[in-house]
Chain A
């Protein structure tokens, strides 16, 4: 693997030290770094990845899984845009499940259990084979600034890697400290050294850093578990891939479910003083939604039991991941707690759980293109921006990479709206809101949730992927045909009238178990919650010809339609407003409730349209609504 010289690669000699120059330098080769580097290179820019070790490229440092509710949405969207995480998850996946399958399509959450070794192997190979890409092992210590712009990084060796843009994706490594009980070691991940100098360099650039923490559970030996005491959790009967690149996937492994007994409460309570979380040794803020077992015991004392999932880390290897038992208790206590769980009595530890504390750059300091507002040319992506999770990291990496490359190639960058994609919600939340804990995506963060289902991702985003040259037009047309076929059936059902004559009434009673009283349409019938779409498929026009998947989507969309329409009316109103010119003498002073910050920014910049206003720093959706309201009132006057 390694450097493939490219036409855009310069080699300069400066005071005897070799100085090489790329379009983009990506620091880090985790989920964010890989996605950023890949999209940049595929758009035609030259990339140099600087990372601590080639061997850890594309590692999954925590759970061996990709996707879920919200996170699955991110992967599917990224895939529609031309990103690669979905493909890698498919290729390394050993069990596939759709969460929330019994609910409507908006909240389906695809998830895959992955063989994490295979995953990182795939990523390493992908990076090695990529055009326009170089990988250098080393530790970036300092951002090099020239004429007020980031223009490269200085490595620990002193070597300078030059690039017109720099994308930082250093994950949990900035000032990383690992805790297991009283044991405290500097490190970015288990067995890996932290990144120390870089934080200082960022502070030197005037950036505000925060301290966050996250944790991981112990890994147990596969053959030390009594499976008879656990329930199995199988993959879906018809497993579905994430990516349009994947034809089909198969389930090759099962997971296991167990429960913690009540007694672990006492074990943990007695030893809380030895937990770095509670003894005060950790001051980083952890994610509330992904608590350690000691957190759970303290915060939910009335819960008698907690569910744990036992997940294979690789298809055949010995390591099993104990989802739900994340902890930084001392090793001896971890053993007591784990072995108290029925089935784990004889458990052999391959690795103890630990917590890691690290620095993040407060994300309000970057714009929607993920460029640091005060340092042109410097981009951030992934956990360094205060997110947590592979999917969040990959999505941000893709956005940062696209925008960095576009800025160099003179192309239009990628900015997704909140109503357009979860990725848009993710970016917007990060850059506009205050974050005091690691950020993870949830479907409830999206106010346009009904429009953002995984079923509509290609329709929403694939055209962008084609524009960026990442998705072949042929693929786009195949996808387009799918959503158009669904739309045709939806329209057909809307226009198929049903009158309650004797024949149809009997038919309905017999096959659907419902009483048809009033004249309606097929769409009207299918909107009812008590109608089973599988049974209706035999009778309803067009529905029978669809795959079960498409059928569920069509029916789901029908059920949403009234609400979605109200929503899109609202949306098109905002859309229309965005193009309304803002008069030069428009008085922001007259708007009650605008924060002083927004007011000053508006008066300084005086944007010409709402769309322009929206792009300014610190402009929240609420502020937009305020300005839009005042603007429309002013136009009425």
Chain B
């Protein structure tokens, strides 16, 4: 990483990290923009922009006049100074609220940079927060998720994670591993004092750790559902009204609908929110003997989608007989009679809808909501692991697998390795690659 010479000098003077600046709100013109500054030089830089600014009264908003280095008036802004360690990054910080003109923002940031600040890298504010012990890596990930949360459920999960719910789970697991390790270490180092640890105690401790890992791993699927949305896949024979339903639920004409069977050939996806729940709605090609290669491929993809679906909406057109052929037990599949407006008999005991009259669509939404949210309710205190966490948990579990069968001194080594994997999750072992992976998703100003 190349630093410009002025930041090198200032960091040499301050003896620590350099001071960074960036706009924290989205680029482009808007009503307000927030500019963040963090680092030991914050106070000096603030006074360059505004000689009269009161940095001695932190955590309080004040209206200030900002000028460039030659004293030219730039903007009237609201400034909030923060004093280390009580700030987001744990360093001295300044937040400036200015009018959201790209010109004003650039001028303010530019003045800071010419006075010795450095433009922040993506996620750098949060990285500093982790480095200064303000949060762990799992919480840092949540920062990004909170920012990007598009549904109430995503926001809730991310908020819980940010407040440490998931970190606490990992902490508890690590605690349990430490107790387990301590039993083993005790039996190795204190034989002299007659420390005998029976196998049963170890077996129990081991079981406790493994079942904790499994419980966390079990939240993976739910985590994906919340973070990415549950996959709700519409399937059925050609012409059963799949694309029409797809459009009706989205309330826009996303898919092509024609009276000819075999209209949809590819898989179509769209994001949808049902009462705060994120859903990925999927339309597929109708299932039948394929007429050509493209349709055959479309049908293969439809089957694939069906296999990985969280919820399957299986349509049966009322004018084609209506009743489902075979009913799959379980909550995943929902058999639906479509085009019920064309039915010549009453349909009882089965969900029937019409996209022409709108009949049954509210009930369908409710059914989808119930099926998607139920497993989410089971998330204890808003805990669900993401792919990075799951990966580490699987590795930790591998280390624990055989520990009761190997010599105890080897077991101790394995448990330690498992603990190191968990430390990596929390960012307590600093592996640059891990950090890179986590922070690559961040944008500047966070």
Contact of B191 among A99, A104, A307, A593 (CB under 8 A): A99
Q: Are the C-beta atoms of B430 and A625 separated by less than 8 Å? A: yes
Q: How far is the CB of B137 from chain A (nearest CB, A)?
A: 10
In contact, B3 and A630 (Cβ under 8 angstroms): no
> Given the known A-B contacts A589-B17, A590-B1, are A629 and B431 also in contact in the complex, defined by CB atoms under 8 Å?
yes
Contact present for B432 and A529 (CB under 8 Å): no
Stretch of A17-25, A440-448, A513-521, A531-539 contacting B (4+ beta carbons < 8 Å): A440-448
Contact across chains for B436 and A633 when beta carbons are under 8 A apart: yes
Q: How many angstroms from the CA of A450 to the CA of B410 in the assembled complex?
A: 7
The answer to whether A107 and B1 touch (CB under 8 A), given A69-B188, A592-B131, A622-B430, is: no
Selected contact of A444 from candidates B3, B188, B405, CB within 8 Å: B188
Instruction: Check A103–B431 contact: CB distance below 8 A.
Output: no
Is A591 positioned at the interface, with any CB of B under 8 Å from its CB? yes
B131 to chain A: which residues have CB within 8 Å? 592-593
**B432 with A591: CB separation less than 8 A:** yes
The answer to whether B377 has its CB under 8 Å from any CB of chain A is no
Minimum C-beta distance from B239 to chain A (A): 55
A592:B192 contact, CB within 8 angstroms: no
Assess the B407–A559 pair: CB atoms within 8 A: yes
**A630 to B: closest C-beta gap in Å:** 5
Contact A68 B430 (CB under 8 A): no
Contact (Cβ within 8 A) A629 B189? no
Interface string of B184-200 (1 = CB under 8 A from A): 01001111111000000
Which of B194, B414, B430 touches A592 (beta carbons < 8 Å)?
A: B430
Q: Which residues of A contact B1 (CB under 8 A)?
A: 587, 589-590
Q: Is residue B389 within 8 Å, beta carbon to beta carbon, of the partner chain? A: no
B28 on interface, CB distance cutoff 8 Å = no
Please determine whether A626 and B430 come into contact, CB atoms closer than 8 angstroms: yes
Residue ID in chain B nearest A440 by CB atoms: B189
Looking at the assembled complex, report how far the CB atom of B334 sits from the nearest CB atom of chain A, in whole angstroms.
48
| A224 CB within 8 Å of chain B | no
Assess A625 versus B429: contact at CB under 8 Å? Given A443-B188, A587-B1, A592-B127. yes
For A111, give its contact among B192, B416, B432 (CB under 8 Å): B192
Among B408-435, those with CB < 8 Å from A are: 408-410, 412-414, 416, 427, 429-433, 435
Q: With the chains together, A447 CA to B181 CA distance in Å?
A: 13
- Contact status B413-A563, CB under 8 Å: yes
A447-B430 contact given A69-B188, A103-B408, A592-B127, CB 8 Å threshold: no
The residues of A that contact B405 with a CB separation of less than 8 Å are 529
Is B406's CB within 8 Å of the partner chain A? Answer: yes
Q: CA separation between A69 and B191, bound complex, in Å?
A: 8
- Distance in angstroms from A515 CB to nearest chain B CB is 17
B308 nearest CB across to chain A (Å): 35
A271 located at the interface, meaning its Cβ lies under 8 Å from any Cβ of chain B in the complex: no
Whether the Cβ atoms of A596 and B16 lie closer than 8 Å is: yes
What is the 8 Å Cβ interface bit string for chain B, positions 107-136, against chain A (1 contact, 0 not)?
000000000000000000001001100000
**Residue A600, interface by CB 8 Å:** yes
> Which residues 73-119 of A sit at the B interface, judged by CB distance below 8 A?
99-100, 103-104, 106-107, 109, 111
Contact B191 A629 (CB under 8 A): no
Given A69-B191, A111-B192, A633-B433, CB of A104 within 8 Å of CB of B407: yes
Q: Are A559 and B410 in contact (CB under 8 A)?
A: yes
Say if the beta carbon of B15 comes within 8 Å of chain A: yes
Tell me the residues in window 1-30 of chain B with beta carbons closer than 8 Å to chain A beta carbons. Answer: 1, 3, 11-12, 15-18
Contacts of A592 in B (CB 8 A): 127, 130-131, 430, 432, 435
The answer, yes or no, to whether A599 is at the interface (CB within 8 Å) is yes
| Closest chain B residue, CB of each to CB of A324 | B193
Check B191 against A529 for contact (C-beta < 8 Å): no
Q: Give Cα distance in the complex from A599 to B430, angstroms.
A: 15
Q: Could you say which residues of chain B place their CB within 8 Å of the CB of A450? A: 409-410, 413
Q: Which of A240-271 contact B (CB under 8 A)?
A: none
Rounded to whole Å, the gap between the CB of B44 and the closest CB of chain A is 18
Q: When A625-B430, A629-B430 are in contact, do A563 and B410 touch as well, CB less than 8 Å?
A: yes
* Residues of chain A with a CB closer than 8 A to B431's CB: 625, 629
B189 and A443 form a contact (CB under 8 A): yes
> B127 to nearest A CB, angstroms?
5
When C-beta atoms are compared, the residue in chain B nearest to A570 turns out to be B417
Q: What residues of A have a CB within 8 angstroms of the CB of B427 in the complex?
A: 593
Q: Mark A622-635, 1 if CB is under 8 A from B, else 0.
A: 10011001100100
Q: Mark A445-480, 1 if CB is under 8 A from B, else 0.
A: 001011000000000000000000000000000000
Q: How many A-B residue pairs have CB under 8 A?
A: 98
Shortest CB-to-CB span from A62 to chain B, Å, is 15
For A, the interface residue count at a CB cutoff of 8 angstroms equals 40
**Closest Cβ–Cβ distance, residue B207 to chain A (whole Å):** 20
What is the bound-complex CA distance between A593 and B412, given in angstroms?
27
Determine the chain B residues whose CB is within 8 A of the CB of A190 once the complex forms: none
On chain B, the residues within 8 Å of A69 by CB distance are 188-192
- Bound: A350/B17 CA distance, A: 63
> Quick one: closest B residue to A111, CB to CB?
B192
Q: Is the CB of A560 closer than 8 A to any CB of chain B?
A: yes
Question: In this assembly, does A397 line the interface, its C-beta being within 8 Å of a C-beta of chain B?
Answer: no
Is A353 positioned at the interface, with any CB of B under 8 Å from its CB?
Answer: no
In the complex the two chains form, is B409's CB within 8 Å of A107's CB?
yes
Q: How far, in angstroms, from A447 to B414 measured CA to CA in the complex?
A: 11
* A405 → chain B closest CB, angstroms: 33
Chain B residues lying within 8 Å of A33, measured Cβ to Cβ, are none
Chain B residues with CB under 8 A of A106: 409
Considering the complex, give the chain B residue whose CB is closest to the CB of A636.
B433
The answer to whether the Cβ of A70 comes within 8 Å of any Cβ in the partner chain is: yes
CA distance A630 to B434 in the complex (A): 11
CA–CA, A111 and B190, complex, Å:
13
Complex Cα gap A625–B15 (Å): 23
Bound complex: CA A103 to CA B407 (Å):
7
Query: In the complex, are the beta carbons of A307 and B433 less than 8 A apart?
Result: no
> Which partner residue on chain B sits nearest A101 by CB separation?
B191
User: For the complex, what is the distance from the CA of A107 to the CA of B189, rounded to whole Å?
Assistant: 8
The answer on a CB contact under 8 Å between B429 and A622 is yes
Residues from chain A with a CB closer than 8 A to the CB of B432 are 591-592, 626, 629-630, 633
Q: Which residue from A104, A447, A567, A629 sits with its C-beta under 8 Å from B409? A: A104
- B192 x A109 contact (CB < 8 A): yes
User: How far, in angstroms, from A68 to B188 measured CA to CA in the complex?
Assistant: 11
A307 vs B3: C-alpha distance when bound (angstroms) = 64
In the bound complex, what is the Cα–Cα distance between A633 and B434 (angstroms)?
Answer: 11
Tell me the minimal C-beta distance from B446 to chain A in angstroms: 15
Q: Which residues of A contact B3 (CB under 8 A)?
A: 587, 589
Bound Cα distance A599, B412 (Å): 33
Complex alpha-carbon distance, A563 and B407, angstroms: 11
Least Cβ distance of B440 to chain A in Å? 13
Question: Considering residues B191, B416, B427, which has the most beta carbons from chain A within 10 angstroms of its beta carbon?
Answer: B191
Residues of chain A lying within 8 A (CB to CB) of residue B17: 589
Whether the Cβ atoms of A103 and B409 lie closer than 8 Å is yes
Closest beta carbon of chain B to A72's beta carbon, Å: 10
For B429, the chain A residues whose CB sits under 8 A away are 622, 625
Give the distance to chain A from B225, nearest Cβ to Cβ, in Å. Answer: 31
In contact, B412 and A444 (Cβ under 8 angstroms): yes
Q: How far is the CB of B438 from chain A (nearest CB, A)?
A: 10
Whether B15 and A560, one on each chain, are in contact in the complex, defined by CB atoms closer than 8 angstroms, is no
Q: Give min CB distance, B17 to chain A, whole Å.
A: 6
**With A450-B413, A633-B433 already in contact, 6 other A-B pairs whose C-beta atoms are closer than 8 Å:** A69-B188, A106-B409, A324-B193, A529-B406, A591-B430, A592-B131
Please give me the 10 A-B residue pairs with the lowest Cβ-Cβ distance, nearest first. A593-B430, A629-B432, A444-B185, A104-B407, A590-B1, A442-B189, A592-B131, A626-B430, A630-B432, A633-B432
14 A–B contacts from the bound complex (CB under 8 Å): A70-B189, A107-B409, A443-B409, A444-B185, A444-B189, A563-B414, A587-B1, A589-B11, A591-B430, A592-B127, A592-B130, A626-B432, A629-B432, A633-B433
Q: Residues of A at under 8 Å CB distance from B?
A: 68-70, 99-100, 103-104, 106-107, 109, 111, 307, 324, 442-444, 447, 449-450, 529, 559-560, 563, 567, 587, 589-593, 596, 599-600, 603, 622, 625-626, 629-630, 633
